[in-house]
Amino acid sequence: MAGLELLYNSVIDNIASPQDALLCFVHWEIIRHGYKCLGTGDQPGTNDKRSELLPAHWNESSELYTLRYESSDGKVQLLVKAIAVDSSVIFNVMRSGSEEVADMTVSLSDYVNCDHLQDFDRVFKNTKELGGRVQSGILSSGPGSRSGSGKGKEPAKSCKKSLQDEDPFRIPTRTAVRQPGW
């Protein structure tokens, strides 16, 4: 986990909640997979710069985090929103261009030791599992790949047909039934 300890220690004075710690880990995973952070908020700002660090004011709210990322080749941008709900955090990620959306819900107690937020060696648990979830649920989503919900895209025709077959309110079309020629 080279780099995570340095990142965490650079923001440890700002870590005030388990959500902050979790967002730091997810940020590190995104950076580790070739993205740079552009800044906070939905829209580009005047102080935006490509960086591996978390931007200033990244955790102004412990209930809603909004960060923007760009791939190293500049072709893909991600808008990451993290919303704290009870003891979970819901990550919603939109890719620019395709406007494909992925989401992932993380239970804080599964991955963050809330009693040790100021101790890097003890704050995270199940890091391999969490890293895999970030990879498959957020970063691997894209055109033709699996989304964060775990369901792949199906062709439109098969979707339409299956919806018609499964709709209990659908009134079947009337067609003449041929009687057998006994």
- Domain boundaries of the chain, sorted by first residue: 4-156
- Of 3, 19, 21, 2, nearest to 118 by C-alpha is 21
What pLDDT digit, counting tens, does each position of 69-109 carry? 999 888 889 999 999 998 999 999 998 877 789 999 999 99
pLDDT band at 49; cut points 50, 70, 90:
confident
pLDDT given for residue 7 in this prediction: 93
Give Cα 37 distance to the centre of its chain.
Answer: 15
pTM: 0.74
Residue 2 has pLDDT above 90, yes or no: no
Is-contact 60 44, C-beta < 8 A?
no
Residue with tokens 């919900």: 149
CATH top-level class of 4-156 = alpha beta
Identity (one letter) of the amino acid at 167? Answer: D
